Structures are given as C-alpha cells and as structure tokens.
Amino acid sequence: MRIERLGAGDDAKVAQASALFDGPARADATRRFLGERGHHLLIAYVGDTPAGFVTGMELTHPDKGTEMFLYELGVAEAHRRRGIGKALVAALVQLAQEAGCYGMWVLTDEDNRAALATYQAAGAAREPDTVMLGWHFPSSQPP
C-alpha cells in the first residue's frame, strides 16, 4: 500500500477514485478542492487501485492559529480491516504537524464503531461534553 497526496492538476486521479466517495466526483468541486490552499486529499493505493482516502482542511482563527479538520475518511469495503484507514489518518496527522497546525479534529456518529476505533487507534482522544449542531439548506444540497 502507498499513500499519495493529490494536488492541483490531479483531477483524473480523483475521478479514478470516485467509487470511494459517497457519489461521483464532480469536476467543478474537484478542481476547486485541489486548487484551494489548505485543502488536502490523500489516497491510499493497493497496487494501482484506489483503496481509501482522507480529506482534511486547515482552519485558521485569529486567536487560535491553524488546526486541521479531518473532513472525511473512506476505505473500499474489500480493503477494510487492513490498517489503511489508520495509515491515512496518521498521514494526515503528519501533514498537519508539518503545516504547523496546533491540533486536528474530526466528527463522527456515536454509533460508528469502525470510525471511533480507527481514529482512536491513530491517536485521537475523545473530547468530553461535545455537541454538534447543524444547518441544512434545501436549495443547496449536494447532488
């Protein structure tokens, strides 16, 4: 297994890995994501086959500095339980440290045992008293 960090111009590699995402990669969103400074996409390959991915975004606040938000992690079903998710998270942690981030965080569902185990195996600790609230905009839902 190897992990590759994608960047501007790697649109075809994102399209090749589209089966790992919730839906097909959109060309406009791919171009924007890969072109944004502080947006990161790492893909794990087994041979030439995309087996998993992780996305992260650097978030900066005036009084805190910069932290990494682990936006999404996915591993193809055929490649699960082989350490690929943990390796991807560890690679994003390393990238965050190299970028000067003071920390990294992720949100997941309480009942997502696989995600909780993966993140904790990669060194994450559960935050106490956390509540997530969200806004949903019907006219702007992703396809």
- 65-92 tens-digit pLDDT: 999 999 999 999 999 999 999 999 999 9
Residue 136: per-residue pLDDT: 80
CA 124 – CA 113 distance, rounded (Å) = 14
Strand pairing report for 39-46 and 2-6: antiparallel
Cβ(10)–Cβ(34) below 8 Å: yes
* Residue 53: closest CA among 3, 118, 117: 3
The residue-averaged pLDDT of 130-142 equals 76
Token pair for 15? 């399209």
pLDDT band per the 50, 70, 90 thresholds, residue 133: confident
pLDDT in tens, 29-79: 999 999 999 999 999 999 999 999 999 999 999 999 999 999 999 999 999
Place of tokens 């000067």: 100
Residue 142: per-residue pLDDT: 59
* Residue 56: closest CA among 92, 18, 6, 100: 92
pLDDT in tens, 113-127: 999 999 999 999 999
pLDDT band per the 50, 70, 90 thresholds, residue 140: low
Residue 131: per-residue pLDDT: 86
* Residue 108: closest CA among 84, 59, 68, 73: 73
